[in-house]
Amino acid sequence: MKTALITGITGQDGSYMAEFLLNKGYQVYGLSRRTSTVTTERISHIIDKIKIVEGDLVDQHSLTHIIKDVKPQEVYNLAAQSFVPSSFSQPVLTGEITALGVIRMLEAVRIGYPKAKFYQASSSEMFGKAQEVPQSEKTPFYPRSPYGVAKLYGHWITVNYRESYNLFAVSGICFNHESPRRGTEFVTRKISQAVARIKLGKQKKLVLGNIDAKRDWGYALDYMEAMWLMLQQKKAQDFVIGTGETHSVKEFAKLAFEVVGINNWEDYIEVNRTHFRPAEVDLLIADNTKAKKILKWQPKTSFRKLIDIMVKSDLEREAKV
């Protein structure tokens, strides 16, 4: 039986990755930090099938011990301070977790179990003020937030450990991927939740920031396979993972309202500058040619289907509370 360690197991991706690996027959360990309230909501249905180990990306000692004890064949480093606006209000903490957390994990692997294959959750936010359209593995980076800069450190240190110590360490440069398990502060889930609440008469307005921003949005479940495939290759290398389509926040909102039969969607939207960022990423769109060719991966869920899944899930959830 293969053993995998997932950091960030309580997050959106960590929870789906745990399900994905359990289905493949893995023994799954999940790293989780101590909190005063329960954070296992997304994994409550599988909690008996996985082993939770306590550690924190800011604490080297815990990470090294966990890797030495568990000796995982595969490590999925999905933990991060992942919300871009919080990286402007807490830039140093974001650097500690999202940047230095990666080298702590790599050091733990190098010292504790160098045979482990390591996956780093890199981000399309590293492209930021995009130097090329669409963005591929060869596009120069130009991050536009403390989060993007921190992810860039994580990305390059992963490359560096692969080249310096011959670790099997790779990065998936993932574009935005969403689901009913997405945190409600991210724009897609903020919209799907608000649409459900407006339909049910529980909310009057949806207050957004820059609705002209464009993203390459995919369905999170589809991305787990790509991450796993990257660790099954003979050669360690990095891949861009995205759909190859881009849509604006406005388009996402329009289609979300359509799911519940509201066509005068603009009447419910208010734009407020408090949600604008000090520096914005205007347009992201993936060139996923390499992933299609080498990993034989491609997204299965369309943009419309993703919105349909998210809005219907929130309708069901909101009808209960």
CB under 8 Å to 36, separation ≥6 — which residues? Answer: none
CB under 8 Å to 131, separation ≥6 — which residues? Answer: 139, 140, 142
Does 246 interact with ligand G4F (rule: CB under 6 A)? no
Closest CA to 239 of 299, 173, 292: 173
Residue of 16, 26, 147, 223 marked active site: 147
Dihedral angle computed from the Cα positions of residues 220, 224, 227 and 228, in that order, rounded to the nearest 10 degrees: 180
For the bound state, the minimum distance from the C-beta of residue 264 to ligand NAP, rounded and expressed in Å, comes to 30
Contact predicate 147/91, CB 8 Å: no
Does 82 interact with ligand NAP (rule: CB under 6 A)? yes
Q: From the list ligand NAP, ligand G4F, none, which binds 97 (C-beta under 5 to 8 Å, kind-based)? A: ligand NAP
Interface residue with ligand G4F, options 157, 169, 231, 249 (CB under 6 A)? 249
Site string for ligand NAP, 94-133 (x = CB under 6 A): ---x-----------------------x-x----------
Does 209 interact with ligand G4F (rule: CB under 6 A)? yes
110 or 254: CB nearest ligand G4F: 254
Total binding residues for ligand NAP by CB under 6 A? Answer: 25
Span 134-193, contacts to ligand NAP by CB under 6 A: 174, 176-177, 183
Residue of 32, 87, 123, 124 marked active site: 123
Distance CA 88, CA 278 (A): 8
Closest CA to 235 of 288, 289, 290, 287: 290
Stretch that binds ligand G4F, among 13-21, 34-42, 102-110, 185-193 (CB under 6 A): 185-193
For the bound state, the minimum distance from the C-beta of residue 282 to ligand NAP, rounded and expressed in Å, comes to 17
Does 11 interact with ligand NAP (rule: CB under 6 A)? yes
Active site residue 142: no
3-state secondary structure of 314: helix
CB under 8 Å to 262, separation ≥6 — which residues? Answer: 195, 198, 199, 268
Compute the C-alpha angle 248/230/288, nearest 5°.
35
3-state secondary structure of 129: coil
Active site residue 125: yes
The CB density around residue 235, as the number of other CB atoms within 10 Å, is 7
Chain residues in the site for ligand NAP (CB under 6 A): 7-8, 10-14, 33, 35, 39, 56-58, 78-82, 97, 121, 123, 174, 176-177, 183
Chain residues in the site for ligand G4F (CB under 6 A): 82, 84, 123-125, 175-176, 185-188, 190, 208-211, 213, 215, 249, 275, 277, 280-281, 284
